[in-house]
Amino acid sequence: MPDATAQPAASRSHRLDALRGAAMLWMTAYHFSFDLNHFGWIQQNFYRDPFWTWQRCCIVSLFLFCAGGGQALALSGQQMAGRFWRRWAQVAACALAVSLSSRVMFPDSWISFGVLHGIAVMLVLLRFGLARLPDAVLVALAALAMVAPQLWASPFFDTRWTDWLGLVTHKPITEDYVPLLPWLAPLLAGFVVTRRWPALWKGRAPRALAWPGRWSLSYYMVHQPVLIGVLMAVQWLH
């Protein structure tokens, strides 16, 4: 998941960047397989096969964990609100671009609330409200976020205008869906872990992983067009 925190240089963690970079590379391999399936070069069920659905779950969880951790570092580094909002605007703009481009490529399953949309909303909730709560309360909220979709699902939320909360009775037909519930949980986990044990993220990390993790928003927006373009070129040459 893209780094939506824009941490000050003094508080930036190479280890957290490396963890995010590992998630980016895992995501790239996943999306490359998805694209191969889309072009008919392999036959896989990315929507039902646990081999793929669990990979997606782990990748998104890693992204959100890193986003929460990055926000904890940004706050400890006294990041100014203006810097936060500039970065947030970039994330929101990219979320809109994802919706528009997916509407063209997948008109029947376009992305109305994917990972960027989810992060944009979650970071506002965290920065201007949840971050003020004690760690124990945040852990309880994370646990509640995990079980809420099973406890309070309602047909009222089964529309594109309301499914962003996550209390749906069935998953909407979309290429990416990261609602607040239950996905707020890994973001809160990353925030709590980093706020309680900031030393975990101090020290050196592999540059090959830290670099894509630092430029993750740009990487995220570019990698799929590049992969699809390469596959289209190979398909055309054959």
Query: Among 230, 124, 218, 114, which residue's Cα sits nearest to residue 172?
Result: 114
Give the whole-angstrom CA distance, residue 220 versus residue 224.
8
Give the whole-angstrom CA distance, residue 103 versus residue 194.
37
Instruction: State residue 129's pLDDT score.
Output: 95
Is the bond into 8 cis (omega within 30 degrees of 0)? no
User: Is 31's pLDDT higher than 90?
Assistant: yes
CA 231 to chain CA mean position, Å = 25
Instruction: State residue 81's pLDDT score.
Output: 87
Every domain of the chain and the residues it spans: 9-237
Q: Is 111 exposed, middle or buried (0-12, 13-18, 19+ CB in 10 A)?
A: buried
Please state the pTM of the whole predicted model: 0.91
Measure the CA dihedral 210/211/216/220, to 10°: -120
Site of tokens 């970071």: 123
Q: What is the arithmetic mean of pLDDT over 191-212?
A: 92
